[in-house]
Amino acid sequence: MKWDANTVERVLVKIGLNVAAKLGGEDFIRRAEFDSAVEFVLHGKRSVHCQLLPPDYIDPVVGGHVVALKTVQRDANNYVLSALISLYDNGSIHLCELANFSEPPDAIKPEELIFVDYVRNRITHVTG
């Protein structure tokens, strides 16, 4: 089976957008700041940055997925909301930027952590 990195990243960005929508609500996810990420998911238009992080960036969780949303201030008027995603406790952690804001997004805390327990079919919002 051949892996297409672009397709994998589109799926990861989609997961991040879904979590942002769940935590921030419909009005939040429909903001224009998310348009580039939505375009990437729907049409593959490369407009977001994704990268692989070291395995120890997030503590491994056995039997589940970890999705963290993190807002980082890049400079005075640039706050980046990113999804950090570890699937199937395989050690790979992907960081995908979802949106850039001129102010910290108030709909989401600076760090949000979700644990998806696929053994028990349960989602736990660890922070908040």
C-alpha angle 21-22-23 in degrees, rounded to nearest 5: 95
Cα dihedral across residues 60, 109, 98, 19: positive or negative: positive
Q: What value does the mean pLDDT of the chain take?
A: 85
Tell me the pLDDT tens digit for each residue of 8-60.
899 999 999 999 998 899 999 999 999 999 999 999 887 889 988 876 666 65
Beta bridge partner(s), residue 81: 71, 99
Q: Which two tokens stand for residue 37?
A: 């990420």
Which pTM value belongs to this model?
0.85
Rounded CA separation 17/36 (Å):
11
N residues, the chain: 128
